Structure 1
Amino acid sequence: MGENQISQILIIGAGSMGILTGYHLSLAGADVTFLIRPHRAKALDNPQILYCYDDNQLKEFKHYNYITDPLLIRGSNYDYIIITLDGASLRNKTGLDLVKTIGNAARGTDTKIVLGTILFDVRVWFLQVSGLADEQVTGGHLDIHAYSTKAVTLPLEAPTDPKLIEKADFAYTDKLDDGFTVDDSSPTVANGFAKIFNASGISRCAVKPALECAVAINPMFPIFAACELMDWPKFKDIGDQKLWSLIVASVKEIQELDIHGQLGKELARTTTEAGLATSLAAWEKHMLPLNLQAFNRFHHSEKLRAQGREHLQACLSKGAAEEKPMSALKDLLRRVQEHEMTTA
């Protein structure tokens, strides 16, 4: 891609991650195309209206194209393909066929992949199935908290404007330091994507070590699973000390997995019940006026529950392979499974 050439970017999926990523890339001057399922075409025929919690205003996202046939990826010579599907969708039969199609289209080309699926060791699996070169694929995730306003109605905190939210297709907040993060599994892919994203001028893409990303994300899943048991209290109000002790023990077990290296072991030594509670409460306060736990309830208990369960099971399997007892995580998963049976 030449210095002044417009970046051609294909985004797989037009959910909240896909739309908000596409919006910022469009502001950066990229030519954005979505690959969507046919039933989503009607919605994308109209501009996407986005409500921003940060300035209490609506944004219009209309500079994009879409395709509905995965076979059209072949021969299109995209500079980047951004995959925004969740782990369960990426690994089912349809997703598996799509990964193979992407592999056939991108193999031997300059097309680069940002794999935005959060799942244990998903990049290794993706490389095996797609047959793409290691240097073509890096991991990434959206740090902007976004959701479909048609899928869920969150409790409102002042100064959120409910009338504006009613007009929006998606709502979001970009309150963290970074709006998007890519890991350095492939520095060329990561640095190139960050340069494009950062040209939006309103959000930032960070490039971080892959190990740092893994050890930050993987231990979060016991927290979300346990919050489901407690019916999603606000972090500042979590009062079940016995269960909280189990959560923190599960977090430390995941941090200590060999895959997280020395960094994980150091974090496990410094992770305490009080310290983790304080950091989560601070995160919750920082995200206002977005109601963080209501958002997490929708995102991790309803929308992506299957992915979360699979992620925790993968952590258990990794621990077993390393001959670690993982007793706290086993107990937590048992409680979650019992809870699901009683509430089904």
Structure 2
Amino acid sequence: MSKPQVLIIGCGAVGLLQGYYLSSGADITYLVRPGRKPAFVGPKHLYSYKDDQLYTFSNYRLVDSIEEISGETFTFVLDTLDGNTAQSEGGTATIAAVGNLINEKQNSGCFVVYAGIGLDIESHYTRVMRIESTRLFSFVSMLVHQPTPRISIPDEADRSLTAKADLLFAYLDVNVGVIAFDTQPQLTTKLESIYNTNGKLVVQRVPAFVAPWFMSINMLHFMTWKIDGYRPFEYLRGNTELWSLMVRAQTEILSLPRFGWTGWVLSFVVKSWAAEKLNTPLINGAKPMKLEEFNAFHHGRKVVKQDIRALEDLEKEGEKVAYICLVPKESFKTKFYTELSKEDFSASASDYVRSTS
């Protein structure tokens, strides 16, 4: 019996790695930018920090237009675009084209799993793709990056293997490859039925009530850590002034009316200890890779536009409802812009960071 088909938007680090693990249970097709197919032709070599092994991935198809696969049936679409790219002109055009595909009759059961982060990112997808929110949920990938001198190779790694790697990754404890926000349980089950076929890594579900606010708090933590220079986490925790500002901002975010009574209750609970608990399992789970180095490379550079946009949207939301969201006037925001300007980043939201992708 033939395998189901999965379409992955983007063949970068996240897309390539997740495609490898999905390929045990599905035929994988990547949608890439026009003219970029030669760069992604396999085989590709994937190095696991935790296993100290190199895996080879070549059984996938590349397309650079939806017209090439129109009429075909897909079980789901995995969209690896970050939130800023997904909302850009080019990203919007891409997901609109994919929307045309999944609105074809044979794809009535097809759903979308997306990685992008943003305050109203789900509304963007439903509007642009012309689908109901019941066909959509978000995910977080295990940690993965292309080779870069910005992320050190652990002493215990076999450098003859890392030298051959097209990407390097660390799955999450215990053997988690994908974290799914369980807002659509039936769809999550379908994802699990394909993903878990690989026999190594699994999908971990996060309760639906966490989904609306979790990534907003994460963006706050990432950018606060950036202000501290992405040193080891204990330095950020020991920066009393900055840590206190972050906890205040965290409370204000959760108190926003859009997060309802759940957010209001959590604003009294999710304090300093919770900020530690949200970060330390990931720090320990990333080992032997250093999470501070990964975050500096990924959230400090590669997807920093997404993270900044998410925080600025929260600030605008706070202003709309007369909150002082993110303590903007003389404390957190001032410090934030000051620190970023040291790196030759613009203090303007419209051109916040030079493209590093």
- Normalised to the residue count of structure 1, the TM-score between the two structures is 0.90
Aligned to 1:71: 67
Secondary structure class of the residue paired with 1:167: coil
1:18 pairs, out of 15, 25, 29, with: 15
Q: Distance in 2 between matches of 1:23 and 1:341?
A: 39
Mapped to 2, the partners of 1:224 and 1:234 lie a distance apart of 13
Match of 1:176 among 170, 173, 176: 173
Alignment coverage as a number of residue pairs: 338
Distance 2:169 2:342 in 1: 34
Distance between the aligned counterparts of 1:334 and 1:5, measured in 2?
Answer: 57
Deviations 1:261-285 (CA, angstroms, capped at 9, x unpaired): 3333333322333553465345323
Residues 140, 179 of structure 2: 8 Å contact kept? yes
For the residue of structure 2 that corresponds to 1:139, the secondary structure is strand
Secondary structure of the 1:65 match is strand
Aligned to 1:283, the other structure's residue is in SS state: helix
**What is the letter of the counterpart of residue 82 of structure 2?**
D
The alignment partner of 1:58 has SS state of: strand
Q: State whether residues 134 and 186 of structure 1, in contact with CA within 8 Å, keep that contact through their aligned partners in structure 2.
A: no
Q: Deviations over 1:49-89 (max 9, x none)?
A: 01101111111111111111233242222221111111121
Matches within 5 A, 1:1-344: 5-27=2-24, 29-107=25-103, 108=105, 109-142=108-141, 144-149=142-147, 151-177=148-174, 178-238=176-236, 239-274=238-273, 276-277=275-276, 280-326=279-325, 328=327, 331-344=331-344
Question: What is the root-mean-square deviation in Å for CA atoms of aligned residues?
Answer: 2.1
- 1:327 Cα shift? 5.1
CA contact (8 A) 2:50 2:171 kept: yes
2:268 partner SS: helix
Separation in 2, partners of 1:122, 1:64: 29
Q: Is the 8 A contact 2:54 2:165 kept in 1?
A: yes
In structure 2, C-alpha distance between the alignment counterparts of 1:277 and 1:136, rounded to whole Å: 34
Contact 1:222 1:329 in 2 (8 A): no
Q: Which shifted more, 311-320 or 57-66?
A: 311-320
Moved more, 197-206 or 331-340: 331-340
For normalisation by structure 2, the TM-score amounts to 0.87
Q: CA, structure 1 residues 192+275, in 2 after alignment: closer, same or farther (shift >3 Å)?
A: closer
CA distance, structure 2, for counterparts of residue 279 and residue 193 of structure 1: 25
Using the TM superposition, name which of 250-259 and 234-243 deviates more.
Answer: 250-259
Cα pair 1:211 1:260 within 8 Å, conserved:
no
Q: Structure 1 counterpart of 2:308, which letter?
A: R
| 1:73-126 C-alpha deviation (Å, 9 max, x unpaired) | 422222211111111211112111112211222115222211221222211111
Gap regions ≥5 residues in structure 1: none
- Decide whether aligned partners of structure 1 residues 20 and 44 sit closer, same or farther in structure 2, where only a CA change above 3 A counts: same
Partner letter of residue 338 of structure 1? T
Distance in 2 between residues matched to 1:333 and 1:71, nearest whole Å: 45
Checking the alignment, whether the CA contact within 8 Å between 2:84 and 2:116 is kept in structure 1 is: no
Q: Contact (CA 8 Å) 2:10, 2:31: kept in 1 or not?
A: yes
One-letter amino acid of the counterpart of residue 125, structure 1: H
SS at match of 1:199: helix
CA distance in 1, matches of 2:138, 2:40: 26
CA distance in 2: counterparts of 1:262 and 1:162, whole angstroms = 51
CA shift for structure 1 position 42: 2.4
- Percent identical residues: 24
In structure 1, C-alpha distance between the alignment counterparts of 2:244 and 2:267, rounded to whole Å: 14
Instruction: Return the alpha-carbon distance in structure 2 between the equivalents of residues 120 and 274 of structure 1.
Output: 25
Q: Structure 1 pair 171/282, CA: closer, same or farther in 2 (3 Å)?
A: same
Partner Cα distance (2:210, 2:154) in 1: 33
Q: Judge which range, 49-58 or 314-323, deviates more.
A: 314-323
